[in-house]
Chains A and B, each alone.
Chain A
Amino acid sequence: MTHTAMNSLFANIPIWPEGASKAAFEMDALYLFIVGLTIFFSAIVFGLVLYFVGKYYAGSKADRSNPSFHNLKLELVWSLIPLALGLFVFVWAAKLYVEVQAPISSENALDIYVVGKQWMWQMQHPTGQRENNELHVPVGRPVKLTMISQDVIHSFFVPAFRVKNDVVPGRYRTLWFEPTKVGKYHLFCAEYCGTKHSEMVGWIYVMEPEDYEMWLKDNQWGMGNEKATMAEAGAALYQQLQCGSCHDPNQRIGPPLAGVYGTTRTLSDGRRVIADRDYLRQAILDPQAVTVSGYENIMPPFRSQLTEVEVNQLIEYIKTLGKGNELPVAETKNEEGVNKG
């Protein structure tokens, strides 16, 4: 009886987190290796202490003749062995860190745009679906998150995937993972962000690819009540904000935007910068700081008018320009089938 009681007690004490990503397995192996090192060195220290206390307890009959007070060889041994093991761990961990942290190069990756704000996670799929505090992804396909914060620093943490990255205001950060197991996994904010920090949590749903396709279809209207891809939503914003009155190809007041994404720009102060996401975001929110050479510094800042979600949509729209697949701005909303993506 006691035995079963004990068993049920321990059944209630979880000691190992579920692993559901490609990175989890090797991360756990490294973790266990360091656990082994910890046990090994702790055992040596505890063992030495207990042995010496027992043997050389004052009054014991142990031989105490000719004690030694230093031994260079011995001291080098217990400096260099831990050093070698430490460097081994460093190399292993650095290699794995690069694999996990370096931007994913896979063409196949699913792009998700994440905005953290006090105290919720806003996700958007390129095909337009929006989710709050939930993210649906297919199993077996890399997922790349492009993340930014609307206010303070947050941190996107999914223990089951062994991934985490801070979500910082003012700059885009990326994070990727490849789910290997269908299921429902905790999402936490790991960087303290104020009152409801511990309620800035959610779930990641990993689904079979066909279920995911179904989910995309069923949620075409998403949270925005508008059936539009991110680029289409961006196109609508472009119109609504009348960006075209300066930036349309025939206007010549502001720099034309067709094909601008990824090109090198020369700014009026002589700096040369690549027009990546961070640049485009700054050019929209705080254009005075990055005026392009040859243009007047007249664009008003949109910092107080746009949310980070909207900026994401505008950038997705700008990315489509000049690639021959411009969205006919006015009509997109009513077209069928565009959302298939």
Chain B
Amino acid sequence: MSATATHHKESVRVDYLNVAHSIKSWLVTEDHKRIGILYLVTISLMFLVGGIFALLIRLELVTPAGDLVMSDTYNKMFTMHGVIMIFFFLIPSIPAVLGNFCLPLMIGARDVAFPRLNLASWYIFTLGALFGVASLVMGGVDTGWTFYTPYSSSFSHTPVIMAVTGAFIAGFGSIFTGLNFIVTIHKMRAPGLTWFRLPLFVWGHYATSLIMILGTPVVAITLLLVAVERGLRIGIFDPALGGDPVLFQHLFWFYSHPAVYIMILPGMGVVSELIATFSRKRIFGYEFVAFSSLAIAILSFVVWGHHMFVSGQSMYLSMVFSVLTTLVAIPSAVKIFNWAVTMHKGHVKLDSPMLYALAFMGLFTIGGLTGLFLSAMAVDIHLHDTYFVVAHFHYVMVGGAIVAFLGGLHYWWPKMTGRMYPEPWAKLSALVIFIGFNLTFFPQFILGYLGMPRRYHTYPDEWQVLNVLSSAGATILAAGFTLVAVYLIWSLKNGAKAPANPWDATGLEWQTPSPPPPTNFTHRPVVTEEAYNYPIVLAKNGEGEHQEEEKRTHEHA
């Protein structure tokens, strides 16, 4: 094959990016790939805003006194950081960007089941995000992202209704995406792609979608009730109006704990893909890993009370929640061990996506194990609402979800953009992020056991050194994220052209050109083999020297 021929062929090939260039063509697109890109742009902007708040928080906490901003401003900063990062970045991040882009490709479909609903999801989500931004422009909300009553409903003097309306609206985008994915996975798999041949990324998204459609309506109702109490003074949560303040916590965590798994399950799906590809080996215990996603999704709905061990719920109820929380840890542990053992007898390569996958394993292990402290009821009495909790969920949310998102973004970047990113820079920034992250959040575990409460604008002098370490880490972490943004944007014009399958991976998405044509595949693929069917070595009887590479061939109709 000559170079000119290849070049000629590529220059005329129509892909989903060059098929149309107008802004309108993007705003009315029904192509899941373009919608994924729209989401990527929106959530990146939200991440930037949420990240700036995080940096301001860490800057304020460099000194024990509240000397950078006023207390009210500080309270608004951590609230807006939480609201933006959780509702407008983490929850949509992997499903709406990578899931939207990859899921139909991975199951050999032309698009999702309901392309227009998919576009509607993005508009609804963006409208919700605009409400969130509006609450910021109106001065910001100061309730904490958890909107606990009766503070949020009767005492706060900030635009709470605007912010909860934003989260309420964005939730519908989440419900529609989940609905779309479930129907797509059920009805649009390529011929031969049975459930147990699905990539684990798809299983992860299936489990996530179940939580999205079952849990999100509950938080929507809850936030609506806060707005009703606040706006119409109808007593629901405020005891002064005849309500029950702890009821809010039950309703809120009934969604918001499963929401943690909305953020982490898709990340686990990404990590399964990365480990398999860069070990060139099928995931160990595929069925265990697939079912553990479903187990996590189901159990996630019955553990919410572990947020309320000191809120006044019945002691026996607390015990039930504590033991169920112990159970939900097991499927996560299974995944970690299975990923580790997948590398056994593999051909491990440390390309940057794999670095993120390994970082995920380490950080999520710490994030998960520190959850054990908080599910242990007696220890939680001391640790509840301290920096230990802050550190724990950042290990899960940043060390887990965001690291997996970055791993997946690098892995599929060539497919999404048709360009390679500069690998040395990617490796460097993965390292910078890993170091910065640990320096930011590890000291917070210690601060938590020492007793530093979260959401504190000022703190006792003896905790300054640990806070300074944490703030220094945040600076390094920010530098790492900035580096990623810079070289990824740079690569859009200057990156090397990406081949169809830069990682030599299995999976249908790699069998179509990069970037894919608008219809994904020129011929509908037919699947005849399991996922991750990499070549294996079979030992010949007695003859170690004569080994045979065997690979079942891919067949296409």
Contact = CB atoms under 8 A, between A and B. Distances in A.
A191 B389 CA distance: 13
B379 A69 contact: no
A6 to B, nearest CB: 13
Contacts of B463: 14
B315 A98 contact: yes
A198 B459 CA distance: 7
A86 B455 CA distance: 30
B446 to A, nearest CB: 5
Contacts of A79: 330, 333-334
Contacts of A191: 148, 385
Given A17-B449, A153-B148, A168-B246, A66 B376 contact: no
B281 interface: yes
A118 B459 CA distance: 18
Given A17-B449, A75-B288, A195-B75, A52 B460 contact: no
Interface string B460-485: 10110110000000000000000000
Contacts of A315: none
Interface stretch (A31-39, A134-142, A227-235): A31-39
Given A90-B376, A198-B66, A192 B345 contact: no
A38 B370 contact: yes
Contact of B379 (A93, A102, A165, A186): A93
B457 A197 contact: yes
B319 A195 contact: no
B362 A56 contact: no
Interface in B382-409: 382, 384-386
B343 A52 contact: yes
Contact of A170 (B239, B381, B386, B455): B239
A67 B345 contact: yes
Given A30-B379, A190-B453, A197 B333 contact: no
A75 B377 contact: no
B469 to A, nearest CB: 8
A297 to B, nearest CB: 16
A241 interface: no
A305 to B, nearest CB: 14
A226 interface: no
B349 interface: yes
Q: Chain A interface residue count: which class?
A: 35 or more
A12 B384 contact: no
B230 interface: no
B404 to A, nearest CB: 16
A296 interface: no
Nearest to A95: B378
Contacts of A97: 309, 315, 318-319, 377-378, 381
Interface string B541-554: 00000010000000
Interface in A166-211: 166, 168-171, 173, 186, 188-199
A13 interface: yes
B449 to A, nearest CB: 6
A169 B155 contact: no
Contacts of B238: 169
A86 B376 CA distance: 9
A86 B538 contact: no
Nearest to B71: A195
A101 B315 contact: yes
B286 A69 contact: yes
Given A38-B366, A65-B537, A87-B326, A70 B245 contact: no
Nearest to B248: A153
Contacts of B144: 192
A57 B347 CA distance: 6
Describe A's contact surface by its main secondary structure: mixed
Contact of A155 (B280, B385, B465): B385
A70 B379 contact: no
A65 B540 CA distance: 9
Interface string B318-343: 11001100110110011011101101
Contacts of A64: 345-347, 536-537
A74 B458 CA distance: 50
B71 A90 contact: no
Contacts of A14: 446, 450, 462-463, 466
B451 A188 contact: yes
Interface string A1-42: 000000001001111110000000011001100100110011
A267 B130 CA distance: 51
Interface in A299-332: 303
Contacts of B322: 90, 93-94
Contact of A162 (B154, B381, B456, B536): B381
Contacts of A38: 366, 369-370, 372
Contact of B358 (A49, A62, A171): A49
A138 to B, nearest CB: 23
B152 to A, nearest CB: 9
B288 A34 contact: no
Closest 4 CB pairs of A and B: A159-B451, A170-B239, A93-B376, A65-B539
30 contacts: A14-B462, A17-B451, A30-B376, A37-B372, A38-B370, A42-B365, A49-B361, A52-B343, A57-B349, A58-B348, A66-B537, A70-B284, A70-B288, A78-B333, A78-B334, A90-B375, A93-B377, A94-B378, A152-B151, A152-B155, A153-B151, A168-B239, A169-B150, A186-B451, A192-B143, A192-B454, A194-B75, A196-B71, A198-B458, A199-B71
Interface of B: 66, 71-72, 75, 142-144, 148, 150-151, 154-156, 238-240, 244-246, 279-282, 284-288, 309-312, 315, 318-319, 322-323, 326-327, 329-330, 333-334, 336-338, 340-341, 343-350, 358, 361-362, 365-366, 369-370, 372-373, 375-382, 384-386, 446, 449-451, 453-460, 462-463, 465-466, 536-539, 547
Given A17-B450, A30-B376, 17 more contacts: A45-B340, A52-B340, A58-B347, A64-B537, A66-B538, A70-B284, A70-B287, A70-B288, A79-B334, A95-B378, A97-B309, A98-B315, A155-B385, A160-B451, A188-B451, A195-B75, A197-B71
